[in-house]
Amino acid sequence: MSEAKTGKMRRAGVIGWPVAHSLSPLIHTTWAEREGIAARYEAIETAPGDEVFRRRINDLRAEGYRGVNVTIPHKERALKIADRASKAARAIGAANMLTFKDDSVIAENSDAAAIESIVLELPLRPRTALLLGAGGAARAVLWALSSGKEAPRVLLANRTRGRAEEIAAIARADVIDWAYRNDALSAADLVINATSLGMTGQPPLDLDYNRLNAGAVAIDIVYSPLETALLSAARARGLRAIDGLEMLMRQAAPGYLAWLGTRAEVDADLRARLEAALKARGA
């Protein structure tokens, strides 16, 4: 008899600080409801600090949790406490997924897998990518761009050049000065914003959108608001624009499949629910 039928609750969650805003519970609950699985996926607020984090993980394991997603500010910490880690998580230096298996904790990075799948599904293989940002998310994007046989050349621009130089080796990216980002824009057939610019409460992403390459695809990983200046500018020029919800939905799938169920469909219905949730909070 299945665990759902015997009433045994499968448990997982997302750990962050703050985490109440997270859309992950909605994604996982939607999938679990579709499958009729008895599952609980919670937002687990956990203050920064190695010891606090480690204790929280131990408690969750003792309570029978199957795993957790990890978000700001714990992604590096998650990798540190794991017994094993995927190649991607090690290269990126951060994990957004911890799976509790027997006596061990396994770290993975499904942010990278999400971007990799988005890029793989593009009709054309990008040859030159402009990646903006050098924070945690940018590191995952950079790793994703470097995987696969036909990896594009990556131009990497970040306000703090030193941070870009620190991470460039992940994909042998060419670091360019933030001041020259518009020159790189015209050379790129894939543009990815992995900074927090354009996010509600942050300054806008200041780019000369007239210099967008005529065949470019634009990806913004910011999802609040959903329609950023980069995406609007790309759409206005008839270019393909992919928003941050696409990455958010896709990064959730590996955790769901590892901990809760067997079908994690990233589809229009899931997107509509997430868009409604964003709208309800005024994003």
Instruction: Give the residue from 41, 39, 32 showing the smallest Cα distance to 68.
Output: 41
User: What is the CA angle 153-91-95, rounded to 5?
Assistant: 120
Listed in sequence order, the residues at least 6 apart from 187 whose beta carbon sits closer than 8 Å to its beta carbon are 128, 130, 155, 213
| Tokens coding 156 | 């990497």
One symbol per residue from 174 to 213: x for binding ligand NAP (CB under 6 A), - otherwise; what is it? --------------------xxxx-x---x----------
Q: 53, 209, 223, 256: which one contacts ligand NAP (CB under 6 A)?
A: 223
In whole angstroms, give the CA distance from residue 233 to residue 80: 40
Which residue's beta carbon is nearest to the bound ligand NAP? Answer: 135
Kindly state the smallest distance separating residue 177's Cβ from ligand NAP, in Å.
Answer: 12
**Residue nearer to ligand NAP on the CB measure, 37 or 130:** 130
- Could you say whether residue 109 binds ligand NAP (CB under 6 A)? no
Nearer to ligand NAP (CB atom), residue 10 or residue 75: 75
Rounded CA separation 150/8 (Å): 45
Q: Note if 279 is an active site residue.
A: no
Is position 221 an interface residue for ligand NAP (rule: CB under 6 A)?
Answer: yes
Say which of 75, 87, 101, 279 is annotated catalytic. Answer: 75
- Cα 262 from Cα 47, distance rounded (Å): 32
Cβ nearer to ligand NAP, comparing 222 with 234 = 222
CA distance 188 to 186: 6
Calpha distance 179→55 (Å, rounded): 44
Structure tokens at 211: 């210099």
Out of 110, 158, 213, 228, the only residue in the binding site for ligand NAP (CB under 6 A) is 158
User: With respect to ligand NAP, which residue has the nearer C-beta, 127 or 178?
Assistant: 178
Region of 18-26, 44-52, 152-160, 230-238 interacting with ligand NAP (CB under 6 A): 152-160
Tell me how crowded residue 66 is: count the other CB atoms within 10 A of its CB: 18
Q: Are 181 and 206 in contact (CB under 8 A)?
A: no
Q: Which two tokens stand for residue 112?
A: 């990278």
User: Taking CB under 6 A as the rule, does residue 19 contact ligand NAP?
Assistant: no
User: Cβ of residue 20: shortest distance to ligand NAP, in angstroms?
Assistant: 15
The dihedral over CA atoms of 104, 109, 113, 118, expressed in degrees to the nearest 10, equals 150
Q: Which is nearer to ligand NAP, 37 or 197 (CB)?
A: 197
Q: Is 72 in the site for ligand NAP (CB under 6 A)?
A: yes
**SS3 of residue 58 by DSSP:** helix
Nearer to ligand NAP, 160 or 210 (CB): 160
Query: Does 160 help bind ligand NAP (rule: CB under 6 A)?
Result: yes
Q: Which residues bind ligand NAP (CB under 6 A)?
A: 72, 111, 133-138, 158-160, 163, 194-197, 199, 203, 221-223, 244, 247-248, 251
Q: Which residues are catalytic?
A: 75
